Amino acid sequence: MNRFFPSAVLLLAGGFALAIPVSSARAQAAASTPLDANGPVKLLPGLDKELIDTAAEPCVNFAQYSCGNFSKFYQIPPDKPGYGTAYIIYDHTQAVLHELLDSVALPSDQHTPNEHKIGDYYATCLDDKAILAAGLKPLQPELDRISALTDKKQLTDLVAHDQMINVNAFFNYSEQQDFADARQQIAFVDQGGIGLPERDYYFRAGDAAEKTRKDYVAHVATMLGLLGEPSDQASADAQKIMTLETALAKVSMDVTDRRDPHNVYHMMSTAQLTQLTPDIDWPQFFASTGVPGIANLNVANPDFFKGLEAILDSTDLETIKAYLRWQLVHSAPHYALPKAMDDANFEFFGHELSGQPEQRPRWERCVSATDDALGEALGQVYVASAFSAAQKAFMLEMVSDIEDAMDRELDAQDWMSVETRIKAKLKLHMVANKIGYPDHWRDYSKLTVVRGDAMGNALRAAEFENQRQLAKIGKPVDRGEWFISPSTVNAYYDPNMNDINFAAAFLQAPLFDPQASDAENFGHIGAIVGHELTHGFDDEGSQFDGNGNLSDWWTPDDRKKFDAMTDCEVNEYSNFTAVDDVKLNAKLTLGENTADNGGLRLAYMAFLADARRKGIDLTATHDGYTPIQEFFLAYGQDWCGGWRPQLTRLLAQTDPHSPDFIRVNGVVQNLPEFGKAFGCKVGQPMMPVNACHVW
């Protein structure tokens, strides 16, 4: 079950990694891992001069200049698909959480109820011997449900049950804020049910795509075989499952079209949904998930549900049962499955699709699993020692500076009418700033965690969370709710909430460091604050008003001018090559590219205002750089590192964020102030004749 979440999330990359030393004493010191006696991985400083490749030309390739020496100190280890600046923060946080969970995993009467829960969950996840001994027994009740199917009419209750344990067979279902009335929570159903990362994986041409599909079918057959199917039957069923999923993909919308909120918002009555897919008894389905009487809901993709009916009618029951078994083991937490299944899942999704040679260590996977299941219980313990009130106050001041810059930026847009500007400023001033952690912690008292029952804990945690979400349907929105845990190294903007959210774990050096210079902090976290704020005014977020409602608050002429400016970015970024023969999908990445460009410009404006206020001499040099140059270098070092080619290919086809080196070069080339700071000449790559400017 997936909550419908249209907002753009700042994903710093697709994988996390530990540092491996390559050379020098500094590299050896930087490479301390959570398992070392030296403690957590050392965080980078606000500006790391050793990472700068002075042999590179900043006006030609600023990403190389600001981060070119990164690979001399850090390599991607075999158990990770990528490594970069934010992953050092991630590693550091994982080490802190590792130590914290190790301490509460030891039974003690001194632990709080939440500490008991997270300790038991973590300890049980670590116990791979018990998981191996249990085998498939914990999943047997779910397999028996599938085996008991004798008629397609029984699918309704089974699929409803599966949705509650995060098995999204055939489609997705959950709750969301109503796009038309952001004060209310409503139900939604959406396309789903495929196993490959995105619908175009089923249709993309080329040898690489064909090989992925062939290997996917082989992987499905392997998993069915491990469930006990004879080899010939498993191979035949895998091919039938591929045919079924291809049919689901064919009636699905692609990731680019789904970026337009109008494309995924279609309010319908339950009776209208029933007309689309009568093979599902929708009133019974909703009742089985604990939400009877749903009269109206968002059917995100009506064409999908019309197509689903034809697929259900044309697919025999035995194929459906094989598909449900596959979806069960595909969706189940693989750390709680027998080792052979866990290894097989990693081999395809981790190794082939992401290029990761080895599986992450179990302790790290169990830290993540505990965070996924009990995020605010773990987060409450984490922030007590890792995030102070002073840090929060410092961050709020930074956000205020960036918002002031956005206010001035709106005044400077001579293309914008007074009517639209007034509404834009109203929206800006309504943005809620959520920093560190929620004001009210989630109650986990009704979640049962049993030491020694890894799969049971995971399924109960999934059902607990889904029940919590579905219970919101028909109720007023809780605008204090967070959708990531405090220990998540991430940040996001939610257009429905009209808020920016920065988790405590994200607010660490070098991205945020009260001890760093203003130039460094504005270049690092200031640009990211600006990024999230700009999302409220990108091609997607700008369709929501200050209350979070999908509303056309622009004049037609202003919208036309805005679209022309975003078209400039689409044309510009379409010329970037992500990896090998894969060009960037600039329509998919448009919102993130707009936010990257606008975010850095807002941070720059805020830094100049801060410097004037504090009397900072912007012409003075420190270790050879002016404060303005340090500002841009700090921004460039947000994106140090890289991903394996396989992961880069995957993300270029599915993720709305550009690769990291493009997030540097693609942005600074649109900011003439960068060229001026580094003495670039017009016509050089980082200072083109024509630059794009949206915000």
pLDDT at residue 298 is higher than 70: yes
Taking the C-alpha atoms of residue 565 and residue 148, their distance in angstroms, rounded to an integer, is 57
Taking the C-alpha atoms of residue 618 and residue 608, their distance in angstroms, rounded to an integer, is 9
Residue type, 276: L
Residue in 215, 476, 163 with CA at minimum distance from that of residue 344: 215
State residue 564's pLDDT score.
95
Quote the crossing angle between the two packed helices 113-126 and 85-105, to the nearest 10°: 110
**pLDDT tens digits, 607-654:** 999 999 999 999 999 889 999 999 999 999 999 999 999 999 999 989
Q: Is the pTM of this model over 0.75?
A: yes
- The residues spanned by each domain of the chain are 45-75+393-436+509-695, 135-359
Q: Please spell the DSSP secondary structure of 512-569, one letter per residue.
A: S-TTS-HHHHIIIIIHHHHHHHHHTTSTTGGGB-TTS-B---S-HHHHHHHHHHHHHH
User: What are the angstrom distances between the C-alpha of 11 and each of 499, 592, 656?
Assistant: 17, 10, 9
Torsion angle in degrees (nearest 10) through CA of 17, 21, 24, 27: 30
Mean pLDDT over residues 588-597, rounded? 96
What class is the 135-359 domain?
Answer: mainly alpha
Taking the C-alpha atoms of residue 205 and residue 374, their distance in angstroms, rounded to an integer, is 41
Taking the C-alpha atoms of residue 128 and residue 135, their distance in angstroms, rounded to an integer, is 11
Taking the C-alpha atoms of residue 520 and residue 616, their distance in angstroms, rounded to an integer, is 13
Neighbours of 29 (CB within 10 A): 12
Domains 45-75+393-436+509-695 and 135-359 share a fold: no
> Is the CB of residue 630 less than 8 Å from the CB of residue 519?
yes
Enumerate residues 6+ apart whose C-beta is below 8 A from 392: 435, 436
Residue 394 CA, chain-centre distance (Å), reads 26
Residue in 54, 194, 95 with CA at minimum distance from that of residue 624: 54
Taking the C-alpha atoms of residue 203 and residue 212, their distance in angstroms, rounded to an integer, is 11
**pLDDT tens digits, 349-379:** 999 999 999 999 999 999 999 999 999 999 9
First vs last C-alpha separation in the chain? 36
Taking the C-alpha atoms of residue 498 and residue 428, their distance in angstroms, rounded to an integer, is 9
| Residue 476 DSSP class | B
Torsion angle in degrees (nearest 10) through CA of 192, 300, 537, 557: 140
**pLDDT tens digits, 22-76:** 323 333 333 333 333 345 789 999 999 999 999 999 999 999 999 999 999 999 9
Taking the C-alpha atoms of residue 405 and residue 629, their distance in angstroms, rounded to an integer, is 20
Architecture of the domain delimited by 45-75+393-436+509-695: 3-Layer(aba) Sandwich (3.40)
Taking the C-alpha atoms of residue 112 and residue 186, their distance in angstroms, rounded to an integer, is 35
Taking the C-alpha atoms of residue 156 and residue 315, their distance in angstroms, rounded to an integer, is 16
